Structure 1
Amino acid sequence: MSRAPLPVLVVGGGPVGLTVANLLAASGVQVALVERNASTSDEAKAISLDDESLRTLHTANLAGPVLQTVVPGTGTRYYDRKGRPLFHARGPQPYRLGYPFKNQFAQPELERVLLDALKSRPEADVRFSTELVAVPEDGHTDCVSVGLRTTGEKSGDSEVQRFSWVLGCDGGRSTIRELRGIGMTGSSHEEVWLVADTTGDHHDERYGMHYGRPDRPTVIVPGRGGRCRYEFLLHPGEGQKGEADFETIRRLIAPYRQISEDQVERSTNYTFNAVVADRWRDGRCLLLGDAAHMMPPFAGQGLNSGVRDAANVAWKISEVWHGRAAEKLLDTYELERRPHATAMVKYSRQLGDVVMTTNKRRALFRDIIARSLLLTPPGRRYLTQMRFRPPARHDAGLVQGAHRLTGSILPQPRVLVPPSLRPRMLDDVLGHGFVLLGVDVPDEAWQRFDGPEWRDIAWPIRRIDVFLGDRLPAAQTGRHAIADADGRLEEALAAARNRFVLVKPDRYIAAVMGPHDIPGVGSELREVMA
């Protein structure tokens, strides 16, 4: 009898660590999470979850509880150099991935929801007041040894334990990254920003507000129950990195509201970095979230990029842990995620340089360009649909072929499912593993997957017939079926009509295949997975 694989160790109890631990546990992987602090964070950190992050949480049955803590947002409204409305960026098509495009939240509340869910899973072992202190090279090829030590009043000597994999979700000052000698490349910024999370606020807008006044760039993000975040660029002499001064907070917030000291939930002065780790995998240690990349906050994508990391890593670790794929599958993690994370770091920095500039001439030029673009339909779509943001896609890794849908994320429309024909979210039909969609293909076309290139694949693939147009779906033996509920399914997959679409567990498209492509794609995928 073969020995059961060792648990996976997640280092860091922030949102990214809690997310990947929940995803792993939900897939049946034994996981241990350690956090050096005694509890989850109460600091002013991330404040925005996007639709892709909520879709990822849905796969671990967490979207419902998380939605109770967020404001279903409508994007970001940008204001010009004089505080006048410029444009409202609502993002791409509403509910394209099944959820609102941008959602405001309070990080301590989110972490509590994720932690409660993780503690309820029998596969998970959660240890606070525990820090990682060593990851020695011990020559093992099937596991990794780590030194763990209790912190706080009960701190003591470290003990060595073995795990199958170690996931470093321990933030910008990652211990794992330091112990493994992994550097970061990029730039640090000296500008100091004050951030304050407040209560008793009158703002009820469901969007963030970016004021591009060069004399005082400002961000305001309303939350639930009278909460509101304020961020201000500090002038020289107004404060240094670290604890924020209440008198400064009161003075800067005064134009928007009166505030008392007990209405400041949390605050700090901070600077930001725009850096990416030089490598994301070192043997059996992988980096996620801020441990792998840090970016300015202006695009609201720091946490969301970390959740994308978690979604990408979790299903691959699960496939390897359960023995359905080889370790080399994890080499595709950095190939798939680094390009977009790097582009998002660059984009976040450039967005801050433009939107939050302190240069009056640059601000004037920015406002003129924006108002000119708004005069034309293409320019208006470019701004309001945020087409200037780097799209998340996989151009390398577990992708095959050059079809324009390959590497992109599959949208999530509502679909009709027989026999009830009750509209359902697409992911509820796709399940949790690989999916093969036959888009308006004849029944006999499925026989091409009976060849040896696909027949011997170890990982299960759900097969689904996709009926486009106004037609009723008809399920065949061994396959499921879905039909278009409102035109969104056809919009998403019309380019793949009469083809097969292979969708990975993280909902990114691995391949779009015509009949003659099927054997070759099967062979290539087996090479990566086996």
Structure 2
Amino acid sequence: MVCDKQQADMEVDVIISGCGPVGALTCNLLGSLGVRTLVLEQDLAPHGQPRAFSCDDEALRIYQSTGLGAELQKDMRENRFAEYVGETGKRFAEVHTGSADFGFGYSPLWFFHQPKVEGVLREGMGRFPHVKLQVGASVESLEQDAAGVTVRYQLLQTGETRTVRGRYLLACDGARSGVRKALGIKMSGRAYGEPWLAVSGSVEGDAPELCRFVCDPKRPAFVATGAVGQFRWEFMLMPGETREEMERPETIKKLLAPYIDPERVHVERAQVYTFHCLNAARWRDGNVFLLGDAAHTMPPFMGQGLVSGMRDASNLAWKIQRVVRGLAPASLLDTYEEERRPHVEAVQKLCVRVGHLFLARNRWVAGARDMVMRALQRIPRVRRFIQGFEFKQPPMHERGYYLGGGHAPESAEGTYFIQPKVRLQSGKEVLLDDAIGNDFAVLCRANAPSAQVAAARGLAEALGARLLAVQSSGADGSDVPAVEDITGKLGDWFSRHDSDVVVLRPDRFVFGAVKAERLPELRDALGV
């Protein structure tokens, strides 16, 4: 196939292969940034299966950035407590997720019903006239040159073949990505040999609210109350058990019986799966990028699989927009994998470690684990570390598109900025991101000398960013748009990092935080 845009039936900025949660989210992010996007989805309708189950505070903040956060959150359930129990059912660890606060605007564990999430995301795509979803479209081939990518696809209902030309192709087509295979990109890592049975469904009548990791060497399991009346049960298969045997209704009833009357359960999905911990050899090939499971797969023990794909989308969408609009060089896109891969690998390692805790198969090892964990939690700092969910991998980039090239010890660059509530000049209280929009933002102190405020205003104008002054509660008005720091957390952040001005990227990572005299250095690093 010749890469000649004149031959294409359609020309866009971005082609997305796959309209699962990551593809649909990516489309909404690009749509909100004005990027012309075509999504190719092979299935004629959403699959309707409740596969992914949980997300975190970062995910809700990303949903918020699409303008769909409130709509999505209303059908989610906030989890406030999780427990780990041993063979006897006695608890040996607990996590107080409801009181954990990492500063990003939401608590860190939420359960959702995937069909509802996908429905809202697909409906949200309709807000943008420059976005199109083509269902029943099977990607047949792709070819790229320096200027872009040509994709040939077939409409499954009619057999018609079409071509589309785009600057970039984003593969959001899952762990068995056809795009990745077409590029010859290999996956490496470990495929864990322990299959699991995942059962999803609803329960008639009252049901307990719980989130329990059953660390029983005879049958490790996970039980949780989900969103919109849903439940999730997961059971590890033992040696000799087969998929066919485990997916039978009578087997499922026996497995559910210790936890709930199986006659009250309406099973919507019961499927055996084997989890993997894999990474693609590279996440970019010319003008093609891999996102989500197409780039990496995650063990399930921290609920980070879908969230990792969402972080990919949030990292890449704004970079593509700036390159497409001529606001940044194409080399900016090289920072996608540079920033995201180390974090993904760190989360994968954490998931494996938690899995080892969860999956002890020897009865004596499991008993020793329970005793050690209880003993360790008599130490106050260890207890706070576990109960406060502090073992969760923080969002941070060691290298990338930042002042100084990345995060250094004690520096703000490369960290995820906080999102406290603020009061607008109208008197309305909102989360910070709702006050600064979805592009770059420049924050400064409201009580700064006029020359500093003028310099910050000049930086914001050159960058095309929103300028906001952070005003302490009860302080006098500001000469620039301001938000009132009603919690005091923004003022504390500025003081802790000894900064007068902070530049936030559209994904809300800190590009740079400096004293006023270093503003020229900050402008140089931004290229404005």
Determine if the TM-score, normalized by the shorter chain, exceeds 0.5. yes
For the residues of structure 2 that align with 1:241 and 1:397, how far apart are their CA atoms? Answer: 47
Superposed CA offset, 1:74-106 (max 9, x none): 253222332222333234743732223211111
The partner residue of 1:114 within 113, 121, 134 is 121
Cα-Cα RMSD: 2.5
Pick closer, same or farther for the CA change 1:5–1:517 going to 2, 3 Å.
Answer: farther
Pick closer, same or farther for the CA change 1:492–1:203 going to 2, 3 Å.
Answer: farther
Deviates more, 1:394-403 or 1:273-282: 394-403
Find the counterpart in structure 2 of residue 480 from structure 1. 481
Deviation at 1:260, TM superposition (A): 4.7
Find the counterpart in structure 1 of residue 83 from structure 2. 77
Identity of aligned residues (%): 31
Find the counterpart in structure 2 of residue 394 from structure 1. 397
Kindly report which structure 2 residues correspond to 1:119-158, keeping only aligned pairs within 5 A, or say none.
Answer: 119-137=126-144, 139=145, 141-151=146-156, 153-156=157-160, 158=161
1:213 equivalenced with 2:195 (yes/no)? no
Find the counterpart in structure 1 of residue 415 from structure 2. 408
Paired AA for residue 274 in structure 1: C
The number of residues matched between the two structures is 514
For the residues of structure 2 that align with 1:143 and 1:473, how far apart are their CA atoms? Answer: 52
Deviates more, 1:188-197 or 1:310-319: 310-319
Normalised TM-score (structure 1): 0.91
Pick closer, same or farther for the CA change 1:132–1:193 going to 2, 3 Å.
Answer: same
The partner residue of 1:34 within 32, 37, 40 is 40
Pick closer, same or farther for the CA change 1:120–1:205 going to 2, 3 Å.
Answer: farther
1:265 equivalenced with 2:268 (yes/no)? yes
Deviation at 1:473, TM superposition (A): 5.3
For the residues of structure 1 that align with 2:124 and 2:66, how far apart are their CA atoms? Answer: 9
Kindly report which structure 2 residues correspond to 1:67-466, keeping only aligned pairs within 5 A, or say none.
Answer: 67-91=73-97, 93-94=100-101, 96-137=103-144, 139=145, 141-151=146-156, 153-156=157-160, 158-200=161-203, 204=207, 207-240=210-243, 244-260=247-263, 263-401=266-404, 402=408, 403-418=410-425, 420-439=426-445, 441-448=448-455, 454=459, 457=462, 459-466=463-470
The answer on whether the counterparts of 1:415 and 1:425 sit within 8 Å (CA) in structure 2 is: yes
Deviation at 1:69, TM superposition (A): 1.9
1:54 equivalenced with 2:60 (yes/no)? yes
For the residues of structure 1 that align with 2:30 and 2:207, how far apart are their CA atoms? Answer: 37
Deviation at 1:513, TM superposition (A): 0.9
For the residues of structure 2 that align with 1:436 and 1:206, how far apart are their CA atoms? Answer: 42
For the residues of structure 2 that align with 1:376 and 1:111, how far apart are their CA atoms? Answer: 43
Deviation at 1:375, TM superposition (A): 1.3
For the residues of structure 1 that align with 2:523 and 2:246, how far apart are their CA atoms? Answer: 56
Pick closer, same or farther for the CA change 1:304–1:455 going to 2, 3 Å.
Answer: closer
For the residues of structure 1 that align with 2:245 and 2:166, how far apart are their CA atoms? Answer: 36
Deviation at 1:142, TM superposition (A): 2.2
Find the counterpart in structure 1 of residue 69 from structure 2. 63
Superposed CA offset, 1:457-491 (max 9, x none): 4x4122222234x4425221xx3212221233344
The answer on whether the counterparts of 2:12 and 2:38 sit within 8 Å (CA) in structure 1 is: no
For the residues of structure 2 that align with 1:336 and 1:202, how far apart are their CA atoms? Answer: 47
For the residues of structure 1 that align with 2:140 and 2:81, how far apart are their CA atoms? Answer: 41
1:18 equivalenced with 2:24 (yes/no)? yes
Deviates more, 1:11-20 or 1:81-90: 81-90
Pick closer, same or farther for the CA change 1:414–1:205 going to 2, 3 Å.
Answer: farther
Paired AA for residue 104 in structure 1: F
Find the counterpart in structure 2 of residue 7 from structure 1. 13
For the residues of structure 1 that align with 2:248 and 2:363, how far apart are their CA atoms? Answer: 28
For the residues of structure 2 that align with 1:64 and 1:382, how far apart are their CA atoms? Answer: 30
For the residues of structure 2 that align with 1:149 and 1:265, how far apart are their CA atoms? Answer: 31
The answer on whether the counterparts of 1:187 and 1:275 sit within 8 Å (CA) in structure 2 is: yes
The answer on whether the counterparts of 1:191 and 1:234 sit within 8 Å (CA) in structure 2 is: yes
Deviation at 1:47, TM superposition (A): 0.2
Superposed CA offset, 1:20-55 (max 9, x none): 101111111111111111111223411002111111
The answer on whether the counterparts of 2:411 and 2:497 sit within 8 Å (CA) in structure 1 is: no
Gapped runs of 5+ residues in structure 2? 1-5
The answer on whether the counterparts of 2:203 and 2:265 sit within 8 Å (CA) in structure 1 is: no
Q: Classify the secondary structure of the residue corresponding to 1:314.
A: helix
For the residues of structure 2 that align with 1:241 and 1:259, how far apart are their CA atoms? Answer: 19
Q: Classify the secondary structure of the residue corresponding to 2:349.
A: helix
Paired AA for residue 149 in structure 1: Q
For the residues of structure 2 that align with 1:126 and 1:96, how far apart are their CA atoms? Answer: 35
Normalised TM-score (structure 2): 0.91
The answer on whether the counterparts of 2:204 and 2:264 sit within 8 Å (CA) in structure 1 is: no
For the residues of structure 2 that align with 1:381 and 1:5, how far apart are their CA atoms? Answer: 54
Paired AA for residue 484 in structure 2: A
